[in-house]
Structure 1
């Protein structure tokens, strides 16, 4: 099948009629019908049957549809890539992806500082989970990703910019350090199993001989902190979330201490732009300030 024939087939499958498909493709209905006939002739089998004035997909069409969906997914990726290449050509734009906790603490201050000196730069920020950030870097949707944990992928450069302490927040405790065995497991709020921090905590709990099955699990540190603020339970979160989330109980350090790496990701096959290098420098600077503030807090 030629691309135009695939387009007509896809449009009919998604809209449910030849008339609507022609409207989507901005062609006349006879022209769309002609392309469909040519497609069926070249394939040697029918793609649709007419029943009660409607086009009903044949079994063969249903089998083809997932493959055609994949083709249009790739075309969508290509359109997005060319758009990104077009508007990044002048070098005055940057797209940053970050995990939600950093989107509520570190990243806004970095962007504020950068834009104060470079007001003409176009900055796009997305709060995403780590796996989404990696995927979008490879797809040229993001220039930089700022994540928790280690991400080792072929074609990806990972720069470690700091270690973020993990702390306990619990309205019933205001002094640390607190051993993992002293945490009330009946009130413990867990993190999603897809979170790198959750993996670290699960290993630490296993080593301490604790079999924890939290009744509540959340995907972000900020959500866990808000539940603690509302009195739902206690949680272990990254210290940056605590530093920038008002109304929380005083954080307690852990015994033994635990921390999660803060990492900047970007494609290994591209040199960093001057904007990315400047942002990276600001990330290190702002993170150092936060870590100093944390020492005073805990």
Structure 2
């Protein structure tokens, strides 16, 4: 099938109508019908049957649809890539992706400091999970990614920035360090199993004999902290979330201590731009300030 035939097929499957498909593609209905007819002739089987004035997909069409969806996902990726190459890679802009915990604490301060020193610069900041950050960097959709954990991949460079302590937050807690074995499993708010911090904590909890299947799991450290603030239980979160989330009980360190790495990611085949290097320096500086505040 040619690309135009695939477009017509996809539009009909999406809209359920030849007329609406033609409108979506900005062509006449006879033109769309002609392309569909040629597509079926080239394939040697029908894609749609007419029933009561409607086009009903055949079994073959339904089998083809997931593969056609994949083609259009690739086309969407290609469009983002060409848009990036056309507009936003001239040395005067930068696009950053960060995990939500950093997007609610550290990264806004870094961005504001950079904008104050370099007015007129264009910055795009997105908060998302680590796996999406990796995908978008490899797709030329992000310049830098700031994540927790180790996301070593072919085609990526990973710079270790700092080790961020993990802290216990619990409104019913006392003072001093907390051993993992002391955590009440019935009140423990866990993190999504895809989170690198969760994998580390699940191993520690398993060694302590605490079930690694908490009654509640959430996708972000921020949400875990908010549940603790509302009296929903206890949680173990990164120190930056514990430091900057308002209204939390005083965090307590773990004993033995656990930490998660803060890592900056970028494409291995791209040297860091001057802008990226400046952002990186500010990131290190702001992290040092936060870690010093925790030590007080």
Structure 2 Cα separation of the partners of residues 144 and 58 of structure 1: 45
Match of 1:205? 205
Gaps of 5+ in 1: none
SS of structure 1 residue aligned to 2:250: coil
Match of 1:51? 51
Conservation of the 8 A alpha-carbon contact between 1:158 and 1:266: yes
* Equivalent residue runs for 1:95-134 within 5 Å: 95-134=95-134
Q: CA RMSD in A?
A: 1.2
Structure 1 Cα separation of the partners of residues 209 and 184 of structure 2: 14
Conservation of the 8 A alpha-carbon contact between 1:178 and 1:252: yes
Structure 2 Cα separation of the partners of residues 210 and 54 of structure 1: 58
Q: 1:202 to 1:89 in 2, by over 3 A?
A: closer
SS of structure 1 residue aligned to 2:252: coil
Q: Deviations over 1:218-244 (max 9, x none)?
A: 111111111111111111111100110
Q: Deviations over 1:194-232 (max 9, x none)?
A: 111111111112223333432111111111111111111
Deviation at 1:174, TM superposition (A): 3.6
Structure 2 Cα separation of the partners of residues 80 and 95 of structure 1: 13
Deviation at 1:92, TM superposition (A): 1.3
Match of 1:289? 289
Match of 2:190? 190
* TM-score, normalised by the number of residues in structure 1: 0.96
SS of structure 2 residue aligned to 1:178: coil
* Equivalent residue runs for 1:53-202 within 5 Å: 53-202=53-202
Deviation at 1:173, TM superposition (A): 2.1
Q: Deviations over 1:84-126 (max 9, x none)?
A: 1111232111111111110110000000001112222211111
Q: 1:257 to 1:54 in 2, by over 3 A?
A: same
Conservation of the 8 A alpha-carbon contact between 1:225 and 1:235: yes
Conservation of the 8 A alpha-carbon contact between 1:174 and 1:249: no
Match of 1:280? 280
SS of structure 1 residue aligned to 2:263: strand
Confirm or deny that 1:216 pairs with 2:224: no
Deviation at 1:190, TM superposition (A): 1.2
Gaps of 5+ in 2: none
Confirm or deny that 1:234 pairs with 2:234: yes
SS of structure 1 residue aligned to 2:189: strand
Confirm or deny that 1:262 pairs with 2:258: no
> After the TM superposition, which segments of 4 or more aligned residues of structure 1 sit over 6 Å from their partners?
none
